[in-house]
Chains A and B, each alone.
Chain A
Amino acid sequence: MWILDRDLWSEIFATLGKNLFRTFLTMLGVIIAMIILVLLLGGANGMSNGFQKIFAGTASNSLFVWSQSTSEPYKGFERGRRIQFKLEDATILKEQIPEIEVLAPRIELGSHRGVVTVYRNGLTSGSAVYGDYPNIDEIMKKKLVEGRFLNENDMTESKKVCVIGEETYKLLFEKGEKAIGEDVRINGVFFNIVGIYKPNQNINIDGENSVYIPFSTFQKAFGSGDRMGWMAISVKSDAKVPVVESQIKRLLKNKYDINPIDERAIGSFDMSEVFNNVKAFTGVLQGVSFFVGILTLLAGVIAISNILLITVKERTKEIGIRRALGATPKVVKRQIVLESIVITVFAGFVGFAIAVGFLAIANNLIGDNSDMPFYNLMISIPQFLVSFILMVGLSVLIGLIPANRAIRIKPIDALREE
């Protein structure tokens, strides 16, 4: 096997080593190209990871449904009628639409997106107050800093407990003060704090300053009866959110005598759409990075080919001598192509190492807590392999140009005395 031929390699390294500076300059293009490729890919991957981190805990196949006012008259009703969901809707929907995985009804104190004053020891916070089912946690995971989230027991016993956001905590407590077990007062009712959550930095459907209490407790404490504000719904993995969304709307429109063409009466938000958009965006970004990177790499490899071409001209005499001493065209060709590969691969590894170093530094700087949608910038093993195989492939193809030039050198012409 020629690939294991130590002499062949020492021939190649001797040739490359005889002009180290030029060899280095030759490599520069590929080194820089590799750095650009890896940084671009690493950045794109980091962005993809960053978004994934932001979305972590939010079910991607979920939607939110809430009620608004009608915009079309129907069955004798005027337009502008306010729709009010009832808790039974949740049961009906779950029964009739098997694609629904989790349905978490919610009710909000005050108007939608309104705030309520929460009191504690003379401190106040204007917070959103939600009555929730514990299974909301399956759709929008709360990152708890301390304590626990609402549970089934809280629901069945209608416990006067609450989970508060970090913002709320900051407004109601001194720094470092213990909050678990303390009471807050909402509309004259006291609630015992069982957990503090950290707002999920970027997806913020609930706002940063919120108080969660069990749905059943909410009903009793604030007399909301069987009213329901909105629903967080996740669908089974084999179902499509938009399909379920329209099923739900059709059912609800029918129940509340809403004109089927009324687009306003029931509001909804499809989370999967956001996910898909972000995925498509980061996917395109990765694709573009790869494309640009590979083109840069191609430019780098072409530069190597060019310099080898010049080297071949300079080495005309040497190649002529080798030919006179018995080197066949094949041997000469192989040597030049291997020189191209060796330079490219070595440069590729150097560039790769440098770029990975940069990425590691960037990761260190960005860390875990950052407002930037970047996290864990790194290139994947398949990306690495594809880049390297492409690079070696290119270096072979492009190394053939100087190699073919070299074998066109006739020993007689190369050796002619001047």
Chain B
Amino acid sequence: MIQIKDLHKSYKMGKNSLHVLKGINFNVEEGELVAIMGSSGSGKSTLLNILGMLDSSDSGEYILDNVPIKDLNETKAARYRNKFLGFVFQSFNLINYKSAAENVALPLYYQKVPRKERQEKALKYLEQVGLKEWAGHLPSELSGGQKQRVAIARALAAEPKVLLADEPTGALDSKTSYEVMDLIQKINDAGNTILIVTHEPDIADMCKRIVHLKDGVIIEDKKIEQVRAEQYV
């Protein structure tokens, strides 16, 4: 699903240049649930943003679902994001004046899905995250966990190839975190490829594979026995 070869990224700040990713190589197969770990500043978000086409790399190869991702302009990147990727952020990033259902339907709007179908799909995915009754509510009327579930429903709505989540449980307490992880595991069970950035070991243990970053390189990449979140909720 994802193939990355010798990925480099540095940030220029005035005269100095900060080399953040120093040659990343890794592949992700379809249906994997990968945790990306590492200390603060190790380049986790940078890597995820490049995978999400929100940022570009300096050099290296990136192939997503057999499509080489290169020479991206803003329009092309937007189309690819819409078609291939779903995002879940630490701070949810829901649009605050839109209801849960409208938020979920938004990526479909950009896919030019007809209105009725969009509404149906939005409800379907809200149901999947257990929030069908909350469809008409604004984000401000939802708890943190509920907001993150709406965000996950939104990421799923466009039926992306890969779900990218940057610290999806970072703003949640442990109980709510496990609920969200339970949901993510179930989505993964259904066959979705998911990458999660986290620095909480218990969250990482709920994935199927852990990739450890340090100083811009992968120092460890291991498959693990998944801990089911179900038992904690």
Contacts and interface: CB of A to CB of B under 8 A. Distances in A.
Interface of A: 6-7, 11, 14-15, 18, 317-318, 320-331, 407, 410-412, 415, 417
A86 to B, nearest CB: 90
Given A326-B81, A329-B75, A321 B110 contact: no
23 contacts: A7-B115, A11-B109, A18-B97, A320-B93, A321-B94, A321-B95, A322-B110, A324-B54, A324-B93, A325-B106, A326-B78, A326-B79, A326-B82, A326-B107, A327-B78, A328-B75, A328-B79, A330-B75, A407-B74, A410-B54, A412-B49, A417-B90, A417-B91
Contacts of B89: 415, 417
Contact of B93 (A15, A18, A412, A415): A415
B154 A325 contact: yes
State the main secondary structure of chain A at its contact with B. Answer: helix
Contacts of A329: 74-75, 78
Given A325-B82, A412-B49, A331 B110 contact: yes
A42 to B, nearest CB: 40
A331 to B, nearest CB: 7
A314 to B, nearest CB: 12
B208 to A, nearest CB: 26
Contacts of A6: 115
Interface of B: 45, 49, 52, 54-55, 74-75, 78-79, 81-83, 87, 89-91, 93-95, 97-98, 102, 106-107, 109-111, 115, 154, 158, 166
Contacts of B110: 322, 325-328, 331
Contacts of A15: 97
A203 to B, nearest CB: 64
A14 B78 contact: no
Contact of B97 (A14, A324, A417): A14
Nearest to B98: A14
Nearest to B118: A7
A328 B107 contact: no
B109 to A, nearest CB: 6
A324 B107 CA distance: 9
B26 to A, nearest CB: 21
Given A325-B154, A328-B74, A329-B75, A317 B49 contact: no
Nearest to A325: B107
A417 B102 CA distance: 23
Contact of A412 (B54, B75, B82, B102): B54
A15 B102 CA distance: 13
